[in-house]
Structure 1
Amino acid sequence: MILNIFKTIILGMVEGITEWLPVSSTGHLILVNSIMKLDMSHAFVEMFDVVVQLGAILAVVVIYFKKLWPFRMKGETAVKSQFAHVQTEGAGARFQKFADRYLYMDKVVMWLKILVSVIPAIVIGFPLDDWLDEHLYNAMVVALMLILYGIFFILIENRNRGQKPRVDRLRKITMKDALIIGLFQCLAMIPGTSRSGATIIGGILIGMSRTVAAEYTFYLAIPTMFGASALKLLKFIKNGGGFGGGELLILAIGMAVAFAVSIFTIKFLMDYIRKHDFKVFGWYRIGLGALVLILGFANLI
């Protein structure tokens, strides 16, 4: 058990770092698991690799709570109406009065955009989840996606050098932008792509600044990864998986470590991209992909 706890701490650290940097947490977990896999059932390890993300997600909730919590505290009624066209009667007037008293409408609108971004993953991702796990979860696919998206990052940053972004504030994101980002997120269903990498690339391509693309990616991770973790957990239980004290301890430790490391990783990434571009992550992905290919051909992973 002591050895499993040590391995869990390492895996939690890997998750907390690679979930938010656009370098593919799957690729790194494959490498780490090839060196020091948990001494647990295959079904549990498969579930752990997904559900440990909940710890990372809680870091986003903590860091961005004030920006995302849409409800006013008691006594925080808006000084003036949040609506450009104030209605004086009917259902519209009642809703506006309720919203001014209890809601921050800019945050409500942001959540609506996030939900629009989630729709493609629900429509496309859930039906294909089992097929993708069965056919694409292998070292060759992961390596190719690492390299391919590494090249994309370098090319896109070179193309955008000196250009002024169309969207330099989160509030400027349109519903159309949100839907396009959701479609890019679906690309991350292919292992090795990186969810954050796909959505950041999509955001930059449609005119978002690096900071807006990254921050919106963090927000979008909340419903997406909660949903993915819940789906994986339900499948684990449905297929006869159970939790003893040891399994619960391993999962709790992994999530706690992922949470703590994610706090630092998210803050680091946001500080880094205010002064630098994403090309360093592109080169890193190419190097990591090449390493995965070499180890795969040598039958070491």
Structure 2
Amino acid sequence: MDAILLIKAAVMGIVEGLTEFLPISSTGHLILTGSLLGMTDAKSKVFDIAIQSGAILAVFIVYWARIREALSGLASSPAQRRFVANIAIGFIPAGVVGLTVYKAIKAHLFNAPVVAGAFIVGALIILWVEKGAQPVARVQSVDDMTPLDALKVGLVQCLGMIPGTSRSGATIIGGMLLGLSRKAATDFSFFLAIPTLISAGGYSLWKERHALSMADFPMFAVGFVVSFLAAWACVRWLLRYVSSHTFVPFAWYRIAFGLVVLATWATGTVVWAD
């Protein structure tokens, strides 16, 4: 395996791990980085989705105590059954949309103006929420969520399928607008990522399995491991950050990145198409 390709895989893993759970859209960053590194073929697109598994493993590690508590209490605890059911309910909208219209979304919305617009509009929504639009939080913990709360957040998560929107941004900010505390919205966004990203990655790998071979294993392994390490550090940092900070800095970053998208598109530096 080419050492340069492994270095590129590591860089992509870092980008995936650092951006998957921040409200800044990992998709947009992977497209830009992949284009600059020359990783734009069909195999690279599968690689981008596959390395999300490393990021998901980081969530398992960080939240393992809570996940173990939920799994061990399924048979005996109504609270744990409700918690697991809420995650399943929250996943359903994305599962339905992913199987029915996501191909159309990629075909018609995967272009620079949409990506840049999603970055900037998302930033304005974050600024609006942080300026006082968020209602008084009635849900302080994921354990206090109702099935209706989970369904609403799940519906909002579907907005994250629009390139440049950010799945985590949609679920966290959307959750806050729906009455979840900043901590509860962030926690539920992480938990909801587990079935969402695993199903997306598994489906992509299965669909494109003919394009892969054992020779690709080192590249995928490096991307997976580096993505895991970067995501583990990022999730731990973000959980500390949300306890005493707002998402305003991410909003300004989104605006700047949206302008970068337009600039790279206008100059032909990046091909913003799927």
When normalised by structure 2's length, the TM-score is 0.93
Query: Equivalent of 2:219, from 233, 250, 255?
Result: 250
How far, CA to CA, are the matches of 1:244 and 1:139 in structure 2? 34
Q: Amino acid of the residue matched to residue 75 of structure 2?
A: A
- The answer to whether 1:288 aligns with 2:261 is no
Could you tell me which runs of 5 or more consecutive residues in structure 1 were left unpaired when the two chains were aligned.
Answer: 73-77, 79-97
Given that 1:30 and 1:139 are in contact with CA atoms closer than 8 Å, whether structure 2 keeps it comes out as no
Mapped to 2, the partners of 1:105 and 1:253 lie a distance apart of: 41
Residue 142 of structure 2 corresponds to residue 170 of structure 1? yes
1:118 corresponding residue in structure 2: 91
Conserved? CA contact 1:7–1:37, under 8 Å: no
Q: Provide the C-alpha distance between the structure 2 equivalents of 1:214 and 1:277, rounded to a whole number of angstroms.
A: 12
For 2:142 and 2:129, the matched residues in 1 are separated by 21
What does 1:49-60 align with in structure 2 at a 5 Å threshold?
A: 49-60=48-59
Q: Describe how 1:122-161 pairs up with structure 2 within 5 A.
A: 122-160=95-133
1:67–1:107 contact (8 Å) kept in structure 2: no
How far does residue 244 in structure 1 lie from its aligned partner after superposition?
2.8
Alignment of 1:206 with 2:178, yes or no, is: yes
> Aligned-pair RMSD on alpha carbons?
1.6
Identity %: 38
1:6 paired with 2:12, answer no
Aligned-residue offset at 1:17: 0.4
C-alpha deviation, 1:230, in angstroms: 1.0
Q: Secondary structure at the match of 1:261?
A: helix
Report how far residue 105 of structure 1 moved. 3.7
Specify the alignment match of 1:215 in structure 2.
187
1-structure distance, mates of 2:187, 2:71? 21
What's the counterpart of residue 43 of structure 2? 44
Q: Any idea what the Cα deviations from partners look like across 1:125-177, whole Å, max 9, x if unmatched? A: 2112222222222222211111110110000111247x641111221111111
Deviations 1:167-213 (A, max 9, x none): 11221111111000000001111111100001011101011111110
Q: 2:235: which partner in 1? A: 266
Structure 1 window deviating more from structure 2 (123-132 vs 204-213): it is: 123-132
TM-superposed CA distance for 1:35, in Å, is: 1.3
In 1, Cα distance between equivalents of 2:193 and 2:205: 17
Q: Tell me how far apart the structure 1 counterparts of residues 60 and 81 of structure 2 sit (CA, whole Å).
A: 16
Aligned to 1:88: none
1:89-130 deviations in whole A, cap 9, x for unaligned?
xxxxxxxxx933xxx442222110000001111222211222
Which residue is 1:33 aligned to? 34
Take 1:109 and 1:65, find their aligned partners in 2: how far apart are those partners?
A: 18
Q: How far 1:4 moved relative to its partner? A: 0.6
Query: Which residue among 230, 245, 249 is the counterpart of 1:276?
Result: 245
* Contact 1:166-1:207 within 8 A present in 2 as well: yes
Deviation of 1:234 after TM superposition, in Å, equals: 1.5
| Stretch moving more, 117-126 or 209-218 | 117-126
Cα distance in 1, alignment partners of residues 159 and 75 from structure 2: 36
Question: Quick check: which has more Rg, 1 or 2?
Answer: 1
Q: What's the TM-score once normalised by structure 1's chain length?
A: 0.85
Q: SS of 1:54's equivalent?
A: helix
Per-residue CA deviations over 1:205-237 (Å, capped at 9, x if unaligned) read: 011111110111000000000010011111112
Matches within 5 A, 1:38-117: 38=39, 42-69=41-68, 70-72=70-72, 99-100=75-76, 104-117=77-90
User: Is residue 2:214 matched to residue 1:241?
Assistant: no
Letter in 2 for 1:11: M
How far apart, in 2, do the equivalents of 1:236 and 1:132 lie? Answer: 19
